Amino acid sequence: MSEPSVPLPMPSPDRLAAISRLLGNAHDALGLKLGFRLWDGSRVPAHWPADGLMICLADEGVIASIVRRPRADTLIKLHVAGRIEAVNGTIFDIAAARPEGKVLRAIRGVSKLATFNVIRRFWSVDRGPRSVLDAVRHDAIDRDGKPTTNKANVAYHYDVSNAFYQLFLDPEMVYTCAYFTEDHDDIARAQRDKLDMICRKLRLKPGDRFLDIGCGWGALVCHAAQNYGVEAHGVTLAEEQLKLARDKVRRLGLEGRVTLHLKDYIQMEGQFDKIASIGMFEHVGIKNHLDYFRSVNRLLRPRGLYLHHTIARRAKKTDRAFNKMSAEYRALVRYIFPGGELDHLGMSIANLERTGFEVHDVEGWRENYQRTTYLWWKRLHERRSEAEALVGPEKTRLWLLYLAGCSMAFQRGGASINQTLVSKRTRGPSGLPFTRADLYG
């Protein structure tokens, strides 16, 4: 755990006693399966084993920060700064140790007097150093859909460092949901199977002009050109990704069959037989969705196929309820994917039909992404020291938190991911077979 970068006030025995009483009371009331380690090295409960799962609170400013701003955003900033850490376990262990049943109901058993005493004693304590996340821009200004804005948003996430992403991705550098054809943990195999499933769903064949919108490090366009004989085009706004992708194209001898474009999707021209968008749509922003689908329709030939692969949230009873961001969702688009926004499956299907597409297939891959993000987290966690050397401890903690949070969201069903296959609507037959037995045989 890193030390605070500026001196903090001298610890007070009275404040230490107050927070110890409150945490002890909360531990009993909530039936917690973890303990706490305070800044003086003491443990709560006092009998909690030294090798047991604990949450470590680095200094008094941690409590002062929570008291003055009791929000998820505060906890995220404190964790990224290394001032709240899991000891003898991981964030997955912390999540598994959460109270069973209704937490809000159980929390009523926590002493109000002990809570007030902590608030009174810590209210004026210095909160400590500012978080590096305080400098991160807010998400509200990042959804205008302009190419310059889109490029800045993409650069924030994807231009971190190719070497950083190589620490936890598969050898082909596929940064989207893998496809597990059976129960296994081989991320490289699952990503190869995913690339092949995309090509099969699109019915790629020699001579097709194929476009991958948001082509990343070039895995899909190279796979399609090598194995399906297509003329593949990829478009991206991420300059660091593009450098590695172009190196890959040269290394594989695909210069005449794969073309990579550094531009916004709305600036693409030409006509394509098949188009895929794999994990890019999340960056578009809901108010720009119709323009996005119109752009895809403009680029697609009649009866051409488009595979729409994207994360979604659950629909709510009303649009107003759906548009209300949870704390975790707001943190994701603020600190990880600026400008990003998730729709729900029904919204995507309706907008696809409004913009001239016929929907043929929808397949949910939620459990696949739960496993994918967990394996990414595990690989990054195992190479944490290397990651910290490349991008610093703060960004490493942030990415570990993001990957773990995504895995838990997919596991619990708070988020989903779907592959939707559509064609450009025309009169007459679509050209697709009556069944999809060949895809899964």
Q: Distance between CA atoms of 26 and 20, rounded to whole angstroms?
A: 10
What is the pLDDT, as a whole number, of residue 221?
98
What is the pLDDT, as a whole number, of residue 352?
98
Which amino acid type is present at position 386?
Answer: E
Q: Distance between CA atoms of 333 and 56, rounded to whole angstroms?
A: 27
Burial (0-12, 13-18, 19+ Cβ within 10 Å), 440:
exposed
What is the pLDDT, as a whole number, of residue 156?
67
What is the pLDDT, as a whole number, of residue 189?
98
What is the pLDDT, as a whole number, of residue 432?
94
What is the pLDDT, as a whole number, of residue 332?
77
Q: Distance between CA atoms of 325 and 316, rounded to whole angstroms?
A: 12
Strands 209-213 and 231-236: parallel
Number of other CB atoms surrounding residue 395 within 10 Å: 18
Q: What is the pTM of this model?
A: 0.91
What is the pLDDT, as a whole number, of residue 105?
66
What is the pLDDT, as a whole number, of residue 108?
78
> What length is written for the chain?
441
Q: Distance between CA atoms of 280 and 287, rounded to whole angstroms?
A: 15
Tokens representing 394 are: 């703060």
What's the fold here for domain 145-440? Rossmann fold (3.40.50)
Domain boundaries, the chain: 13-134, 145-440
Asked if 159 and 170 touch (Cβ cutoff 8 Å), the reply is: no
Residue 31 region by backbone torsions, left for phi larger than 0, else alpha for psi between -120 and 50, else beta: left
Provide block-wise average pLDDT over 10 residues at a time, the chain (441 residues): 50 90 93 95 96 97 96 93 96 88 70 94 94 70 64 63 93 97 97 98 98 96 98 93 95 96 94 97 92 98 97 93 83 76 95 98 98 98 96 93 94 95 93 92 72
Using alpha carbons, select from 154, 1, 131 the residue that is nearest to residue 73: 131
Q: Distance between CA atoms of 340 and 330, rounded to whole angstroms?
A: 10
Strands (E), 168-242: 209-213, 231-236
Using alpha carbons, select from 187, 190, 148, 142 the residue that is nearest to residue 168: 187
Using alpha carbons, select from 239, 19, 57, 25 the residue that is nearest to residue 151: 239
Q: Running DSSP on this structure, what letter comes out for residue 308? A: E
- Residues 6+ positions from 275 with CB-CB distance below 8 Å: 210, 211, 212, 213, 296, 299, 300, 304, 305, 306, 307
Beta bridge partners of 87: 54
Q: Distance between CA atoms of 344 and 322, rounded to whole angstroms?
A: 9
Return the active site residues: 406
Tokens representing 391 are: 């991008």
